[in-house]
Amino acid sequence: MRRTLRRTVAAVAMALCAAVLPAPLPANAAPPPAPAQAAAQWIDRDTVVWKGARHAPAQLEFGAEGQKGEIRLAPAALGPAERAAYPHLKDFPAFAVDPRDLKLAATALRERLVAVQRDAEGRRVSTGVQIPGVLDDLYGPAAAKVPLGPVFRRGRPTLAVWAPTARTVALELDGRTVPMRRDDASGVWQVRGARGWAGKPYRYVVTVWAPSVGRFVTNKVTDPYATALTADSQRSVIVDLADPRLAPKGWAKLKKPAAVPLNRARIQELHIRDFSVADRTSRHPGQYLAFTDRRSDGMRHLKALADAGTSYVHLLPAFDIATIPERRADQARPDCDLAALPADSERQQECVGKVAGRDAYNWGYDPFHYTVPEGSYASDPDSPRARTVEFRRMVQGLNEAGLRTVMDVVYNHTAASGQGALSVLDRIVPGYYHRLLDDGSVATSTCCANTAPEHLMMGRLVVDSIVTWAKQYKVDGFRFDLMGHHPKANILAVRKALDALTVAKDGVDGKAIVLYGEGWNFGEVANDARFVQATQRNMAGTGIATFNDRSRDAVRGGGPFDADPRVQGFASGLYTAPNPSPANGTPADQRARLLHYQDLIKVGLTGNLAGYTFTDTSGRTVKGSEVDYNGAPAGYAAAPGDALAYADAHDNETLYDALAYKLPQPTSPADRARMQVVALGVAALSQGPALSQAGSDLLRSKSLDRNSFESGDWFNALHWDCRDGNGFGRGLPPAADNKDKWPYARPLLADPALRPGCAEITAASAAYRDLLRIHAAEPVFGLDSAAAVQEALSFPLSGTAETPGVVTMRLGKLVVVFNATPHRQVQRVPALMGQRYGLHRVQARGADPVVKTASYEKRTGTFAVPGRTVAVFAERWFRGAVVSRRGGGVLEALRGAVREALGGAVHGPPCP
């Protein structure tokens, strides 16, 4: 994720604003001005670290003038455990809390807190104090055991909120204020309610010192553990998610599609509103309930993908979103006749941009409440019940179509921090839930206010929220946005908590739930600066996958941030169909880069295994980890399920739009469609999980928009009916992220030849589904260990004589040829001379007439494949069958013969 929340939220903030009132202070006790920075960090009850301090005595001062207390600090050194826990602080001056003052910590943490020292000239030096470490030390062990949020026992709710630094906390309910009781061991405030509280809106009234404004405030704030909300998140609502009245018909006995292990998962990434808002056949456009419209064009297409082998639908964030007005009457709409404007006009993006902050659209990477469904997708945003029931009905609808559900989750940041109206966590425990830099400012490397899952209670919130979605909404998988900003330990804690869920106890099989995420390495946490991150390299061997950008870039060409978007790659014509961009270099440069891309693709086809050994295009024997990717190892996976293959996702241009930039402009729509399938095919036929953006098989375009997070329905909507086009030519993409690319975009958008028709759209989709069917029919595409991949998979023509633009892979009894060149290519494999091969039955009987012209000559072991085609060959007597890596035999031959006779897969593992 590389988006910036530039949206103006003033209108939404007005609707959401909760009171922020100065709390009364004792008479004649006004606090002095707060320091502008917080360079001191109280990391546990015994230790303070202060960047820039002298190695001399200091103190922590707390309270107001006239009632001020003091905690004495003596120069000290960090111990081994502290240095390991806080590696980024190891070189800063450390201080030990005077043992006589330890008892003052609990009081000091509920007051204004300042670190004070005298400089060499005797002048007073002060700074604010960061407190997450000491809060975890003092309260974490007890707080970890206390249920939070609304918890029902025998029909009566208990409400609990962790607020250890608050002076007072009360419950605002039914226009009255109900006192809450503080547990001094945990810092949790609780109140037990009556049965009649169920269904009632509530807020917490929290009086606390807020460093961001330098005073005590009284915040009226929603519950971080809320499970229901009123419209626009103005109040939390007390609900019991186990209440049968919130369960749609059949929910308790919901029959899910068979669990697909992550290393065989084929995933469609989908935005809920995109899915149906432009679908004229949907009865619930833009809503959760659109997934219950079995006869809509969208659901028919998802069902076709499921039948072909797609196993999961990955939903972009569907928790409560901060920047969408939930009531339809409050949602602004463009007031232009967008369809009447020229295909390369600036007017569409200008008109859409005027309402971007107030319309119904956002990707949703701006979380407000983590564990409540977004209200704008419900039929009635004013009904807390509708959100819960309809989200569950959406899961039912997808499951009934043969698809499991993955939820995109964004725990790495919040939409706001401090005293902002869209801030929740920071108005209850200021300075705790977000990651602070050395000066006390909130880190924003994710483009928003970064959270700190390394802190005990933020990490717990992640785990608790995930478990709620799994148990109460029967979500089958989770994709972590910017997972590299989480500690590895936090993600493994999620895995452990899910693994503990059982059908008998919890209604779900937690071990069948899949996890994957963005393992990017950047920002203040980069290179394990603060903790061991959940990055690509570090997650290897955990069974939790990370996105594989290596193969993605090789297939598309260049990278996401190229100044010239015409940089080509394997599936976009590098060297074999060059465009005029000087960024591609000389023909010799192009050839060399293309061959290196082919090595990256080979590593990707193995599941991006670090230890996989093969011959690269220079003739060297190398491991996957020895292939270079921008100065880093290409291969990082320990097992085939560690890396997720993809050619496009919601970030950056769609695959069709990337190819629009990169392929030579005269390339015909039919050839563009074929190159789309080649690119998708590399991911679809890789070991390990693979993902594609919804609509990519239909040549989906966003009119060249590289960051459509708030570009509205006009640029984002999916078009299931090919007569509506694919979205290309809907105007120049929004200026904020694309204006520097407009000179490249204008001539393309104005060219009607780049707009595919029904023939190209339906052909690409059908050819892609054939590849999915092959993957589903062949267990050898889902090998479960690096050793099995090394034994079964090879690249017999890799080396100095390799054909530029062609990758030939041998996989068990299959041979796959990826021909990205415009011309028919011949691939002779001497080791297969005399063996009988033919085009795989799925393609031989499939939708693509071009691939049917592929051929094999037994005498010479030669495969001939038409241009811009992925062809899969199988041994004739075993077509559709795969010999086990432990050996074949008569039983496997019979299995293959039965498969061939039935024209489909025989399910189950290969015979031993």
Residues serving a catalytic function are 481, 518
DSSP 267-329: EEEE-HHHHHTT-TT-SSTTSGGGGG-TTSHHHHHHHHHHHHT--EEEE---EEETTS--SGG
Q: How many residues does the chain have?
A: 912
Closest CA to 485 of 511, 462, 506: 462
SS3 content of the chain, % helix, strand, coil (to 5): 35, 20, 45
Q: For residue 300, report the phi and psi dihedrals to the nearest 5 degrees.
A: -60, -40
Residue 63, by phi and psi: left (phi above 0), alpha (psi -120 to 50) or beta?
left
Q: Which of 107, 113, 150 is nearest to 129 (CA)?
A: 113
Could you give the dihedral angle defined by the CA atoms of residues 418, 422, 425 and 430, in that order, rounded to the nearest 10 degrees? 10
**686 vs 524: CA distance, rounded Å:** 33
Instruction: Determine contact, residues 202/159, Cβ cutoff 8 Å.
Output: yes
Which residues, 6+ apart, have CB-to-CB distance to 303 below 8 Å? 294, 401, 402
Contact status, residue 553 vs residue 803, Cβ threshold 8 Å: no
Quote the CA–CA distance of 316 and 163 in Å, as a whole number. Answer: 31
Residues 732, 562: Cα–Cα separation, whole Å: 19
**How many whole angstroms separate alpha carbon 725 and alpha carbon 756?**
7
Q: Which residues of 612-621 are buried (b: 16+ CB within 10 A; e: fewer)?
A: bebbbbeeee
Report the C-alpha gap between 686 and 771 in whole angstroms: 11
Q: Find the farthest-apart pair of alpha carbons in the chain and give their distance in angstroms, rounded.
A: 100
DSSP H or E segment with residue 845: none
Rounded Cα distance, 438 and 456, in Å = 20
Q: How far is CA 415 from CA 157, 168, 613, 695, in A?
A: 29, 26, 45, 29
CA dihedral 724, 726, 729, 730 (to 10 degrees): 70
Number of neighbours of residue 385 by Cβ within 10 angstroms: 16
Alpha helices, DSSP H only, in 35-176?
80-85, 105-108, 132-143
| Per-residue tokens: 141 | 């062990």
| Exposure b/e, 573-603, CB count within 10 A at least 16 = b | bbbbbebebeebbeeeebbbbbbbbbbbbbb
Beta bridge partners of 40: 50, 129
How far apart, in Å, are the Cα atoms of 334 and each of 167, 357, 488?
47, 12, 44
